[in-house]
Amino acid sequence: MVMPSTDPAHNDCTRNTDIPVIDLNGSRHRVSESILKACEEFGFFMVTNHGVAENVIARMEATGSEFFSLPASEKQRSGPPNPLGYGFRSIGSNGDTGEVEYLLLHASPTYVSLRAKTICKKDHLGFSCVVTEYVESMRSLACEILELLGEGLKLGDTEIFCKLLRDSKSDSLLRLNHYPASYSSARDDCRIGFGEHTDPQILTLLRSTVGGLQIMKDGGPWVPVKPDPAAFCVHVGDALQAMTNGRLASVRHRAVVNSYTQRMSVVYFGAPPPHASISPLSETVTPENPRRYKSFTWGEYKKAMYSLRLGQNRLDHFLSS
């Protein structure tokens, strides 16, 4: 029997377009220009030749799959999310829901013991070690990308973003999402796993080998991201938008569930420490692009973000008058 194609990457509600794929092995100048262009045009791109060891990725994915295959009662011991921990269907605390279960964890080394406590699994220390190894690789990759971006933007201090991620109190997170196969009616193409939103942090690195992620460019149609096991997806977050005075814009994205295949995504959110001041960098404030955002701390931004719904625009609350 021929099954109708209900792969969200090929359904009626989406249209393919050219999402930039950047090979980090290219010449430094060209790579930095391409990263800047992709961040300006899409707020999103994919990186290949990223240098993250295959066994680090494999260990993280195997550990994640093992966690999600535990009985519900076992997983629930790591929840409810507060805001970190295991969650099922409910996203945040303001009524957002999706066809997803997830585990949200601290990524910073300072909070490693808190992280281990969140994972209420028999081998919670082993799990936490795998996370440490993975987030260290993610932080290095994020820093490499952010430095190249800083060069493209011709910043005086090209390490400015990376210093925030490397701060011992950085509020970076790791999220494991599991989208079960939906087994819904074949024409029900656009079932939402994780509703549309932008990521609040500086930079997001996401990996998934199954289709479902979609991005939106300039209010246009949803564009499916073709999964590539050799690549990481890179998202510009709200904090980077504010620091570049809107020159780069955080990307709206969502995840739809696949009717036949379950999907797991592993997502690193590179964030500043709570006390860090987020304000437009002087190099990005010009007579043609006057200052758009007030200065705020990451702690203040988080407070606003938890008071709003998933899809709401948070940066609008920080526009300079």
Q: How far apart are CA 132 and CA 157, in angstroms?
A: 28
Catalytic option among 207, 247, 254, 263: 263
Question: Which amino acid would we find at residue 21?
Answer: V
Closest distance of CB 310 from ligand GA4, Å = 4
Check binding of 252 to ligand GA4 (CB under 6 A): no
10 Å Cβ neighbour count for 141? 21
* Catalytic residue list contains 263: yes
Q: Which of 8, 64, 193, 200 binds ligand GA4 (CB under 6 A)?
A: 200
- DSSP letters, 270-306, are E---TT-EE---GGG--SSS---B--EEHHHHHHHHH
Number of residues that bind ligand GA4 (CB under 6 A): 15
Nearest residue (CB) to ligand GA4, 36 versus 305: 305
By three-state DSSP, how is residue 109 classified?
helix
* Stretch 1-60 residues interacting with ligand GA4 (CB under 6 A): none
The end-to-end CA distance of the chain, in Å, is 62
Q: How far apart are CA 182 and CA 169, in angstroms?
A: 39
Place of tokens 């938890």: 306
Check binding of 305 to ligand GA4 (CB under 6 A): yes
Check binding of 107 to ligand GA4 (CB under 6 A): no
Check binding of 83 to ligand GA4 (CB under 6 A): yes
Q: How far apart are CA 175 and CA 86, in angstroms?
A: 10
Check binding of 153 to ligand GA4 (CB under 6 A): no
Q: Which of 94, 110, 286, 295 binds ligand GA4 (CB under 6 A)?
A: 94
Check binding of 173 to ligand GA4 (CB under 6 A): yes
The binding site for ligand GA4 (CB under 6 A) comprises 83, 91-92, 94, 96, 104, 173, 175, 197, 199-200, 269, 305-306, 310
For the annotated catalytic residues, the residue numbers are 263
